[in-house]
Amino acid sequence: MTAVTSTSWTAPGDPGDEWHSPLYHAAVEQLGRAADLLDLDDESRARLREPRRSLTVNFPVRMDDGEVVVFTGYRVQHTLTMGPTKGGLRFAPHLSLGECAALAMLMTWKTALVGLPYGGAKGGVRCDPGLLSDHERERVTRRFASELVPMVGPDQDIPAPDVATGEQEMAWFYDAYSQAIGHAAPRVVTGKPVELGGIAARREATGVGVVEVAAAVLEHQGKAVEGSSFAIQGFGNVGRVVAERLQSLGGRVVALADVGGGVHDPAGLDVGAIAGWSEEHGGLRDCPFGRPIDSRQALTTECDVLVPAAIERQLTPEVASEVRCSLVVEAANGPTVPGADRLLAARGIQVVPDVLANAGGVIASHHEWVQARQRAPWDDRTVAEQIGARLRAATARVIETAAERNVDWRMAALGIAVDRVARAGRLRGVFP
């Protein structure tokens, strides 16, 4: 028998090459800093750095004009230590395995931070959702769901809405999965329409949660939503709810933008009117309710609180040097690149990290999943109270840990989460 050296088992290149993407490298860098803070052992670092499972699928879909187009989709599960995995499905033109790997890791930290029994996952289809008709979107979603049948399941991996997906896509996914396994399996996705076992609170939970966390942080700083000014990039599932909620609490929304354009008014925008206009015109391009701005300008508008609520990697060092606010609340996942993080800190601008700020959505999803398991509906008020309570407790813990360890809020949040997952991993041990 020939001796096997350790290199025989190692694929060429460094670990993590398969997942190469700027966002994945940023996620690994953040994990490394949190691990240093915790003085984490090498074994735990190695186990947490790479996703446990990933699936890439290429599948054909017949378009409305009869042409067959092959789409690429991904699903990545970061850790299986904490229970089933949980995370959104997105439709995006440049989606990659590396982006899904990074976002899956972020989901692990988010669920651990707020104490949910899940590991992180993420996936989606590489496509331009704006170019798909409703029928095409349905066929893409259903075919993708059937491709994922071996990987997802109510106690395995539970998708949810993310960028450019929502209740309708979750309904199609649920139906396609149920057809494949022969019975209804409502727990396979969350973020479903209420008629199919969704919960009303899930629709707005991410945005409402962002405001809940922002309010708790402002209160800690001796300030309040009422009387503060806010600039928001992204006007979709999350950004729109954030804007509406802030305004209803007396906040002044001074800038709003989506991918096509935006508006600015230092005296405060009429969010309701802008939402109506956006719905009617399919976005904020040429919106007449304020001075026109683009989505980058929304990030550099003078305000008290900046809320990136669109996509990842928007706050680059260049943008961060022009930001004019005292607080950033990350409603989007991964909106700040590591270099920009350091620059913001040097400028005295504090950042509420994504894993805390936007955790309201996955907390509501957990309620939806538990409700389906119990087959007994919960009332909306109980769900809303429990989401708020979990977020306030996590915010207080992050602020306290940051002060104790003299680190920023991102490192405090990641430190709490990584510690929890690493401890669980050590307790479960290594199979066999």
Residues of this chain that interact with ligand NAD (CB under 6 A) are 161-164, 206, 233-239, 258-259, 295, 309-311, 331-333, 358, 361
Q: How far is the CB of 431 from ligand NAD (least distance, A)?
A: 32
Q: How far is the CB of 80 from ligand NAD (least distance, A)?
A: 21
Q: How far is the CB of 244 from ligand NAD (least distance, A)?
A: 13
Instruction: Specify the residue, 44 or 237, whose C-beta has the smaller distance to ligand NAD.
Output: 237
Sequence-ordered strand ranges (E) for 249-349: 252-258, 261-264, 291-293, 305-308, 327-329
Contact 417, 355 (CB under 8 A): yes
Instruction: Specify the residue, 73 or 236, whose C-beta has the smaller distance to ligand NAD.
Output: 236
Of 307, 191, 189, the residue nearest 254 (C-alpha): 307
Contact 216, 409 (CB under 8 A): no
Can you tell me the distance from the alpha carbon of 109 to that of 100, in angstroms, rounded to the nearest whole number?
A: 14
Pairs from 62-65 (Cβ < 8 Å, separation ≥ 24): 62/139, 63/136, 64/133, 64/135, 64/136
Pairing of strands 68-77, 229-233: unpaired
At 153 the three-state DSSP class reads strand
Residue 313, both tokens: 């990697």
Active site residues per annotation: 122
Can you tell me the distance from the alpha carbon of 361 to that of 347, in angstroms, rounded to the nearest whole number?
A: 31
Distances (CA, A) of 369 to 44, 99, 150, 183: 29, 26, 20, 17
Instruction: Specify the residue, 30 or 295, whose C-beta has the smaller distance to ligand NAD.
Output: 295
Can you tell me the distance from the alpha carbon of 119 to that of 374, in angstroms, rounded to the nearest whole number?
A: 21
Instruction: Specify the residue, 148 or 319, whose C-beta has the smaller distance to ligand NAD.
Output: 319
Instruction: Specify the residue, 261 or 415, whose C-beta has the smaller distance to ligand NAD.
Output: 261
- Closest residue to ligand NAD, judged by C-beta, is 236
Can you tell me the distance from the alpha carbon of 2 to that of 5, in angstroms, rounded to the nearest whole number?
A: 9
Instruction: Specify the residue, 309 or 320, whose C-beta has the smaller distance to ligand NAD.
Output: 309
Q: How far is the CB of 376 from ligand NAD (least distance, A)?
A: 24
Q: How far is the CB of 385 from ligand NAD (least distance, A)?
A: 19
Q: Residue 334: count other Cβ atoms within 10 Å of its Cβ.
A: 26
Instruction: Specify the residue, 216 or 331, whose C-beta has the smaller distance to ligand NAD.
Output: 331
Q: How far is the CB of 242 from ligand NAD (least distance, A)?
A: 9
Q: How far is the CB of 89 from ligand NAD (least distance, A)?
A: 10
Placement of tokens 């391009």 in the chain: 285
Identity of residue 248? S
